[in-house]
Amino acid sequence: MADVRVNAEAPQNPAHTETRREDYRPPDWLVPETELRFTLGIEKTRVQSKLKVERNPEGAPGAPLLLNGDDLKPVGVWIDGARSDDWSMKGSDLLIPLDGDSHEIGIETEISPAANSKLMGLYASNGMLCTQCEAQGFRRITFFPDRPDVLSKYRVRMDADKAQFPILLTNGNPVATGEGDGRHWAEWEDPFPKPSYLFALVAGDLKANRDTFTSMSGRKVDLGIWVREADLPKTAHAMASLKQAMQWDEETYGREYDLDLFNIVAVSDFNMGAMENKGLNIFNSAYILADQDTATDVDFDNIARVVAHEYFHNWSGDRVTCRDWFQLSLKEGFTVFRDQSFSADIGSPAVKRIDDVRTLRMIQFQEDSGPLAHPVRPDSYIEISNFYTATIYNKGAELIRMMKTVLGPKKFRAGTDLYFERHDGEAATCDDFVKALEDASGVDLTHLKLWYSQAGTPHVTARLEQDGGKAKLHLGQIVPPTPGQPVKKPMAIPLKTALIGKASGAEIAPERLIMLEEAEQTVEFDNVGEAALLSINRSFSAPVVMDVERGDGELEKLAASDTDPFARYEAIQELMLRWLAATANGETVDSGAVLQAVGGTLRSNQLDPAFKAEAILPPSESLIGDRMAVIDPDAIHAAREQLRSAIGKELAGELSNAQLGGGQPGEDLSKEAKGARRLRTIALNLLAAGDPDKGAQLAKAQFDSADNMTDRQGALVVLASLDAPEREQALKAFYDRYEDDPLVIDKWFAVQASAQRADTVDQVQALAEHAKFAITNPNRLRSIAAAFGMNQWAFHDASGRGYRFLADLILKADKVNPQVAARMVPPFGRWRRFEEKRAAMMRAELERMLETPGLSKDLYEQLSKSLA
């Protein structure tokens, strides 16, 4: 065995090395073909690779071959068939000096899936073996140029104990199998060249829900969703969603599936939601398994969304991939936009839009206004795993949506057709994407490109000035400074705008698209027949913060009559937000207009229940915080409770009707039934705020009689925040019933960590000691950490115990799984926005964490940036 030589040039503290976009260079070596042989075992797996390497004419002349590795030791290296000692380690990478232009490199490594708690590379989960390679996990399996612009054709042989691992899967199609001596092997080939991050392998005792899909050109595709046998009955919805997604992508984007086989595997230990490996998607079981007894309507919708998202990547990600990780939004922003459109088309477009905007505001706007703000196409990173963010994903999706708004649907489709055709089989950039849209449409999109490079959420002001039949709309924009970008240019902001008659409630100036491109701009409307109300940023056409000069009376009118459902929702929410922010600031404000708008919405015969539910739900405590100069969590909580209680008391009749009338049979998954259930639980929530004793009884009755998880969990959420004997009864009944179902026990943890109670910190401390808590399982860890971090009032408990608890948990988690630990930091990032005492305590916890020896690169980056 060759000894391991450590190069003196290796960086002392890898935590500090930054990768910069401007340093991108084409690879020195290409790998047209890759052959892998796995001798699989939980404790020990042997990996033998054979790489056909060719010098890249575009690379640096004479450069050695640098193969990335992470936690790997080469057992042996072969060059053109001969064992070689002519290599060295450069940090954790393998450096092989090579003359000539073409060689065959053989490498053998040995890895331990059982010891892999980071869940990156090849790891063990529930007795099976699986992989996660995006972004840089492949280098934990074997030495390889682990960068997305090196595309290779893979041939993979898996050899394993037949009883332990009866099923062997990897990308592409099986080409040969064999067995003997209790072992078996399978060889697969993937005909499509792919980057290493799309490699996948699964071995285990799995059973498939099988189906077929016939594609538009008549190709029969075998579909398989692989799970443990006991979970098979819970795979029907995922399978139906997959077929729906395949059909939708053919109809909407003209994209057809390209292999004879499409497999999905569900695993219970997974860092993210799911992964789009070519022909073999690997999923967090939370996004596959569902039935009416264990999954909520939201779970069902999420499964459809995530299954569609990963499937859509087959074109937007796999066939056309990213040149480098700075282009991540090329595949993720676009694919999120695609999955959002899919969900809108199969459900209710207005409610879907409201939901997506809520997520954007809650997560992306927060990120964009804090220390972790970065552009959709970042300029640098320390750890790429930290950049799978709401900015890359959700703001990236908004950017694609704006391009579509500007082009219109036909030209947009022509643009995506050209993009897929032009870059098929390539690693592309965000610029390539925009260029394809421009070339196909003949429309210049330069003005929108600033959205890729400039971080921060634009703030737009609008004021309508009317003089008889003429109206002037005065617009202004400010883009706030973000880390590394103190001064901003004005952006191109597409604002869908209409005027609504104050008296008639009719659309008196039809919707038009206004492009705000200057810091200040005035737009005129002629022939305005009556006093007009401004309806702007309709359907949320641009991801900006709007500050519109409008009185409560005007908002009330828009809340009742705006012709755009999103704008109508906004008017109601804006009324509530104004009242909440003023009350939290200690002002005494009349709640008449708010109650009027909520009551009118509830009583409407035209609005559907799903819309009503979204509209009447008071904005979250964190959104209220965004409206305050200094965030005071106690004042915000008190104000929101006051509003919830007022609505619950004043509108008890309407809410009772909605709650009682909302009980739909659990097997009915139509959007009408889902909407009624959603309104039902929100009504219950508000009723309980108005009358806690009665609320506890109602909630317990809903809990006991529920025939589906939506109603049952909805009632449990209400009870969890109350002080009533029914609370403990329901929590115990829920636990006892689902003790053996990990995904439901995750809910049981999360419900308690989200509870609005003075003692939630004590509760989460106890939960972290619970026998079923496991820091090694990302879902279970998140069921406490993510839920608690988002629970503003509890996390920001004045004692500072919430901060200490989460910081301790992050430090513990970092030892096990740095990627997941680093994702728990953002709640601390907003420390500067809070009142002095809390800000000091949050900062102290950040500093304490940062000073801890042995931090991962992931956590180091998030902490140091949060303090900068």
Parallel, antiparallel or unpaired: strands 427-428 and 321-322:
parallel
312 binds, among Zn ion, ligand BES, none (CB under 5 to 8 A by kind): none
Closer to ligand BES by CB, 388 or 834: give it. Answer: 388
67 binds, among Zn ion, ligand BES, none (CB under 5 to 8 A by kind): none
Closer to ligand BES by CB, 292 or 314: give it. Answer: 314
- Kindly state the smallest distance separating residue 116's Cβ from ligand BES, in Å: 15
Q: Among the candidate windows 326-334, 338-346, 369-377, 512-520, which touches Zn ion by CB under 5 A?
A: 326-334
Please tell me the count of residues contacting Zn ion according to CB under 5 A.
2
Of 626, 354, 382, nearest in space to 480 by CA: 626
Give the whole-angstrom CA distance, residue 781 versus residue 824: 10
22, two tokens: 């401007």
Closer to ligand BES by CB, 34 or 271: give it. Answer: 271
269 binds, among Zn ion, ligand BES, none (CB under 5 to 8 A by kind): none
Q: Which helix (H) or strand (E) holds 31?
A: strand 29-39
Burial code (b: 16+ CB inside 10 Å, e: under 16) for 765-786 equals: bebbeeeebebebbbbbbbbbb
Amino acid identity at 474: H
272 binds, among ligand BES, Zn ion, none (CB under 5 to 8 A by kind): ligand BES
CA atoms within 13 A on the CB side of 638: 11
Whether residue 531 contacts residue 503, with contact meaning beta carbons closer than 8 Å, is answered with yes
DSSP letters along 395-425, please? IHHHHHHHHHHHH-HHHHHHHHHHHHHHHTT
Please give the residues from 327 up to 356 whose contact with Zn ion meets the rule CB under 5 A. Answer: 332, 335
Amino acid identity at 509: A
326 binds, among Zn ion, ligand BES, none (CB under 5 to 8 A by kind): none
- For residue 25, the 8-state DSSP code is -
Q: Which of 35, 276, 310, 398 is catalytic?
A: 310
Closer to Zn ion by CB, 136 or 335: give it. Answer: 335
Closer to Zn ion by CB, 238 or 536: give it. Answer: 238
Instruction: Provide the β-strand partners of residue 631.
Output: 834
Closer to Zn ion by CB, 329 or 537: give it. Answer: 329
Give the whole-angstrom CA distance, residue 605 versus residue 35: 64
The site for ligand BES (CB under 6 A) is made up of 134-135, 272-276, 305-306, 309-310, 313, 332, 336, 339, 388, 393
- Kindly state the smallest distance separating residue 263's Cβ from Zn ion, in Å: 18
566 binds, among ligand BES, Zn ion, none (CB under 5 to 8 A by kind): none
- Kindly state the smallest distance separating residue 129's Cβ from ligand BES, in Å: 18
301 binds, among Zn ion, ligand BES, none (CB under 5 to 8 A by kind): none
Residue sitting closest to ligand BES (CB): 273
The number of beta carbons lying within 10 Å of the beta carbon of residue 58 is 10
- Kindly state the smallest distance separating residue 420's Cβ from ligand BES, in Å: 18
Of 653, 640, 651, 648, nearest in space to 690 by CA: 648
- Kindly state the smallest distance separating residue 135's Cβ from ligand BES, in Å: 6
- Kindly state the smallest distance separating residue 485's Cβ from ligand BES, in Å: 25
- Kindly state the smallest distance separating residue 575's Cβ from ligand BES, in Å: 32
Amino acid identity at 434: V
663 binds, among ligand BES, Zn ion, none (CB under 5 to 8 A by kind): none
| Tokens 């059909």 belong to residue | 247
Closer to Zn ion by CB, 393 or 828: give it. Answer: 393
Closer to Zn ion by CB, 159 or 339: give it. Answer: 339
Closer to ligand BES by CB, 135 or 548: give it. Answer: 135
- Kindly state the smallest distance separating residue 393's Cβ from Zn ion, in Å: 7
- Kindly state the smallest distance separating residue 673's Cβ from Zn ion, in Å: 30
Collect contacts of 12-15 with beta carbons under 8 A, ≥24 apart.
14/91, 14/857, 15/382, 15/855, 15/856, 15/857, 15/860, 15/861
Whether residue 381 contacts residue 864, with contact meaning beta carbons closer than 8 Å, is answered with no
Residue 770 phi/psi, 5-degree rounding, is: -65, 145
* Radius of gyration, CA atoms only, the chain: 28
Whether residue 300 contacts residue 357, with contact meaning beta carbons closer than 8 Å, is answered with no
Give the whole-angstrom CA distance, residue 60 versus residue 56: 8
Of 805, 835, 827, nearest in space to 633 by CA: 835
Any catalytic annotation for residue 836? no
Residue 89 phi/psi, 5-degree rounding, is: -95, 135
785 binds, among Zn ion, ligand BES, none (CB under 5 to 8 A by kind): none
- Catalogue the active-site residues: 310
Q: Footprint of Zn ion on this chain (CB under 5 A)?
A: 332, 335
